[in-house]
Chains A and B, each alone.
Chain A
Amino acid sequence: MKEPLPFDHRPDPLVGEALRQALEPGDATPFVARVLARAAEVRIASWDAVLARWARPGVAAAVLVALLAGYLVGRATAAPAPRPSVYDALLAPPAHPGEVEIVLASVIGN
């Protein structure tokens, strides 16, 4: 028998045929029937199945987003009025000058 070439690109019919016989699995009919019977129990991931799989996380994410949005809106509307700066407090004309004078007079008087 000829020694095979190191990188022969053609299939070797002698080895191939001998191996085919050695590995011959026999009649395929029972095997195919068994696979198809099991396949009937397998669910393929269709688009509705994918949607169903994502439904629960989707609802949870929507609830989280709604809560976060509610919190942000609530915080924005309930925010306190901005505090006056030092400049405003000292130099701006008082809204109720009389009252301020009364308070100051009472403090100085004491």
Chain B
Amino acid sequence: MADPQPPQRAARIAQQDEADLVLRAAAGDRSAFGVLVERYAGVARRVARAVLGNPEDADDAAQDAMLSALVKLDQYDPRRPFGPWLLRIVANAATDRRRRRTVRRVEPLDAGLTAGGPRPDTTAERRALGERLRQALAELPERRRVAVVLFDVEGYSHAEIAAVLGIPEGTVRSEVFHARRRLRALLADWKEEA
């Protein structure tokens, strides 16, 4: 069995691979673009959902961002990682959509969820926890939401998130910390109730 790649080398190979995919996509290779879309669909949709809340809006924003990235591929610097470059476009697309969209009536949450009502089974419990987390996330400032999702869910570094959000690295650390404190408190309450 081949030795596993050291993390840095593996990351470098992945980056070269992506730079190659981007070059091919920019030259009109739709299959290369397809690979990039498949690779980043999950994170792009999650980031957009963290900003917008509504999954349909989030998918529309993620799609717009992917297409916008396709058009701007010639502006991408292949020496830098592709993910943060793309996610910056995604975050901007989601923010633009949130600003543009008309104020919609927010669906009231199930009273059982907000009051910690009965939880008939694990699936329902998980759904309820998800609902609570999304609610808590929605209460956070937008930048904080994206920062904590990129850091704790997607595993991006503070520096990469700083590039995505266009803010200093120290501010990213602070945003992640504040978001975590809020979300951890919520999870702790949930555990106690359970």
Contact = CB atoms under 8 A, between A and B. Distances in A.
Interface of A: 1, 3-4, 6-9, 11-16, 18-26, 28, 31-32, 34-36, 38-40, 42, 44-46
Interface residues of B, number: 49
Contacts of B71: 42, 44-45
Interface string B160-184: 0000000000000110010011011
Contacts of B187: 1, 14-15, 18
B34 A32 contact: yes
B66 A39 contact: yes
Given A21-B130, A22-B131, 20 more contacts: A4-B180, A4-B184, A6-B173, A8-B177, A11-B151, A12-B152, A19-B153, A19-B183, A20-B46, A22-B130, A25-B45, A28-B41, A28-B45, A31-B45, A31-B59, A35-B66, A38-B67, A40-B30, A44-B26, A44-B28
Contacts of B181: 3-4
Nearest to A46: B28
Contact of B38 (A8, A32, A38): A32
26 contacts: A1-B188, A3-B181, A4-B180, A4-B181, A8-B180, A11-B151, A12-B152, A12-B180, A16-B152, A19-B153, A19-B183, A21-B129, A22-B134, A23-B137, A24-B46, A25-B45, A26-B55, A32-B38, A35-B41, A35-B66, A36-B37, A39-B37, A40-B30, A44-B71, A45-B71, A46-B27
Contacts of B101: none
B82 interface: no
Given A34-B63, A39-B70, A18 B129 contact: yes
Interface of B: 26-28, 30, 33-34, 37-38, 41-42, 45-46, 49-50, 55, 58-59, 62-63, 66-67, 70-71, 73-74, 126, 129-131, 133-134, 137, 148-149, 151-153, 155, 158, 173-174, 177, 180-181, 183-184, 187-188, 191
6 shortest A-B CB distances, which residue pairs? A16-B152, A25-B45, A22-B133, A22-B130, A28-B41, A23-B46
